[in-house]
Every structure is written in C-alpha cells, then in structure tokens.
Amino acid sequence: MKRSTVRVPARATGAACVAALAVAGLAACGDPADGGTSAEGDGDGPVEIEVWTWAQGYDKAAEAFNAAHDDVQVTFTEIEPGSKGGYDKIRNAIKADSAPCLAQVGYETMPSFVSEGNLLDVTDIASPDADAYAPAGWSGVTVGDRVYGAPQDQGPMVLFYNKDVFEKHDIEVPTTWDEYRAAGEKLKKAGIALTGTYEDYDYTGFAWQAGAPWYSVADGQWSITNDSPENQKVADYWQGLIDDGLVGAGIWSDEWAAGLSDGSIATIAGASWFKGILKDSAAASAGQWAVAPLPTWEAGDEVTGNVGGSSIAVLAGCENPEAAWEVAHFMATDTTAADAVIEAAGTLPASVDGLTSELLTQGDDYFGGQVVDEVIIEASADVAGDWQWGPGVSTLTSTFAADMKKAYAKEGDATISGALASSKAATADALAQQGIDVGE
C-alpha cells in the first residue's frame, strides 16, 4: 500500500540558512522563495520532486519511492560525477533557476556548496531523523551545526591485505601502525612494497582517524588546520615509510594495479569502496586477499577514518523542502532503495537500516569466502567523530596531491609536511579571493 504524504506550503523560508551561515562565517544561502523550478503539483496531482545523481542504482531507488507513495512522485535524472561536470551542471542550474530539488553532493563538497549559497538548510525538518544514520554520514551532511541533506553512503577505512603474502613471510596481521611499519620492513627484505602512495582524499582518512581535522570553525570564522601537531604526527609517520623505501607505486597507476596482482604490493589501507577497486584492478589475485580493521595508533583502540561518501542534498530554490527531505531520507533508509544502490554501485549505506541489508551478509569469493562487509560495518561504527570539511577543499586537496607527488619522488627537500603547508597557503589565498577570510 502506498503511503500518504501531507501537502506543505509551496515556499519555504531561507532565514534559518542565512543565520547558520552567518555563524559559520560563510556567504548567505539562496532563499528558496527566490525561484526554482521544482514542481509542486497542480493542486490535484502529486508533488513532483526531481533528483539528479551519478551513482548507479538511484533510478531503482526512485522507482521504489514512487511505488510506495501517492502524494509525492520522483523524477530521476542521471548526471556526470561531480568532479567530471556534475557539480558545474548543478551550479549552473541553480543560477538559471532551473535546478531540481535534490542532487547528489559529496560530503567534502558540501561546505563549498553552502558557502556559495547552493544548498538549503533543512535542519528543522531533518534533525528528528538523525539517529537513522551512522555518525560519519550525519557528520557529512552537517556544516557548522546545520544540516543540508540526507547521507547516502560512507567509506570507513579498513586494511586490505594479501593474506598469501603475509603467510608466506610469516607476518601477523598488524593491529597498530607500529606493527604495520614492522611488517613493511620485513616485506622490504623480500622485495615487496608495504602499500602504494596516498595523495589527496585517500590520505585524509589517516588524518581523520588520528583526530587531526583539516578544518575548524569558531567564532564565525573558518580555519585551515591541516598543519596542526596532530597532523604533523601523521605526516611524520608516512614520511618515515617513504624515507625507508617501504612505499611502492602510486595508487590508481598501472604499476600499482600490477603490484596488487602479482603480490609485489601487499596492502591497501583505505576506504571500504576499495573492495570493488581491488577486484577490478587485481582480478588475477582473487582468493589471496582478506580484510581486517585499520591499524590504530594505540593497541586496543577501536577508531578509524572515513574517505568518501555522498548525500542527496536539498538545493537552494526548492519549493517543497519537506517533500524533498522525505524523498532523500527514503532513498537512504528504505531497504529496497538501499539494496538497489548497494547492488548497482557497491557502496556502503550511511543509514542504520541500510546496514542491515542481506546483501552485506554474503561471503565474497574474491576474498576467499570472507564476509568482508562484517568488518566494514563494524568499522563504520568506529569512525572518529571530530572531522570537519570546509570551503575550498578542491584547492586544498589538489595542491596537496601535487606536492605529495614530489615528496614520494624525493624531489629536492619536498616532504609531506611541506605539502600540508603549501596546500594550506594556496587554499587561504583562494578563499580570500572569494571574500572568505580564514583564521590561523
């Protein structure tokens, strides 16, 4: 039986959004009453909510919503991934007052979208549903203390390791970063790299785990904090692995994929979605790999980082944010909708109900029959809770990645610490050009 949805006023105030951004020291949001073409029905028909996403499976999630509802119906459009044109399409549509009510936005991009006035504050509507989501997901849709969308997926970090290589060289699965380094030293003697290089978002997960956020906001002002003492600790650790020759080819390179396939690269310390990347990049080593919790700084700790994840965000100009939230929340929490995305995209749900999917309880032949999602789901509950993304993150990560390449190549005096400093300076300059001042 379809659910009935109470109709709500066509226009919603943007006052709460403006107030929130004033506190956060950002530019004001657009008022949804200023335009927008999101259909709201003609008085007799259902409210129509349009959603744009790039991840696979959301077309089926939209169908599931429509089958369960009478008074609200979803129109689905697939767009290019955000970094490949999707975000520009969303921004241009908002400027032209032709945007949908909902669109997929990565957690790392949300503060930039907020600062540009592209998202609608739905805190009052969404907050009653906060407990339906994993902490990392809810944190991802929160800027300052305001909420701008429904979390859809997440990327808790775990350790992928070649169990055949570890067994051959009599190496125990490391549970701490000290043990991880020791494993690398032993592998080096056998001509095997401990892992590949990590350059941008993939590296941020290590900082996240260590309680070393790259942004903070206080007294109405953003600060870029990626050079904090906590971040220096993480940088010094990875710099030591580089200096001692324990790190191999850069991830995403052909050399990296070859190393994963032939056993010359032994681990990936990375987000849960590397499960699919590993299968695609190293099909020849099927059956050799396993998954374990990410090593920690102190023995016995149960904490990890997160890399990636996205929301279905409510865009500025949406004329019916209550109905939009209902759609976005359903797509994340309804088991039929969540299963459609799991099956098509291979992502890990950000909702509590989504994590109960039977699709996540199956043994995986690639990993020798291990139920790897059990480890991943446990990791999702251990994600550190003090991470903060901020505006200008694309400049921050791209500059960091470029200078990290120099550190890995040992060019001159390039170091990870230097990459942190240069990326901070570049981002502060970029934000200043946008009229956003940053603190020390």
- Residue 301 pLDDT > 70, yes or no? yes
What is the predicted pLDDT for the residue at 437? 86
- Shared domain for 280 and 407, answered yes or no, is yes
Number of domains in the chain: 2
Across the range 62-66, mean pLDDT stands at: 98
Residues contacting residue 433 through CB under 8 Å, at least 6 positions apart: none
Handedness of CA 61, 354, 134, 310 (dihedral sign): negative
pLDDT digits (tens, 9 = 90+) for 122-171: 999 999 999 999 999 999 999 988 999 999 999 999 999 999 999 999 99
Q: Which of 133, 129, 142 is nearest to 351 (CA)?
A: 133
Rounded Cα distance between 269 and 291, Å, is 10
- Shared domain for 344 and 403, answered yes or no, is no
Structure tokens at 380: 């999702």
Rounded Cα distance between 351 and 403, Å, is 36
What is the predicted pLDDT for the residue at 15? 32
- Shared domain for 122 and 243, answered yes or no, is no
CATH code: domain of residue 342: 3.40.190.10
Structure tokens at 427: 């981002």
> Any bridge partners for residue 306, and if so which?
156
- Residue 17 pLDDT > 60, yes or no? no
Q: Please name the helix (run of DSSP H) or strand (run of DSSP E) that holds residue 201, with its range, or none.
A: helix 201-209
- Shared domain for 105 and 44, answered yes or no, is yes
What is the predicted pLDDT for the residue at 34? 40
- Residue 27 pLDDT > 60, yes or no? no
- Shared domain for 140 and 162, answered yes or no, is no
What is the predicted pLDDT for the residue at 412? 94
What is the predicted pLDDT for the residue at 32? 37
Q: Indicate whether 229 belongs to any domain.
A: yes
Across the range 331-354, mean pLDDT stands at: 97
> Any bridge partners for residue 304, and if so which?
383
Across the range 92-114, mean pLDDT stands at: 97
> Which residues span the domain enclosing 109?
15-154+308-356
Across the range 319-341, mean pLDDT stands at: 98
SS3 61: helix
Q: Indicate whether 404 belongs to any domain.
A: yes
Rounded Cα distance between 43 and 12, Å, is 18
Residues contacting residue 263 through CB under 8 Å, at least 6 positions apart: 162, 164, 165, 192, 285, 288
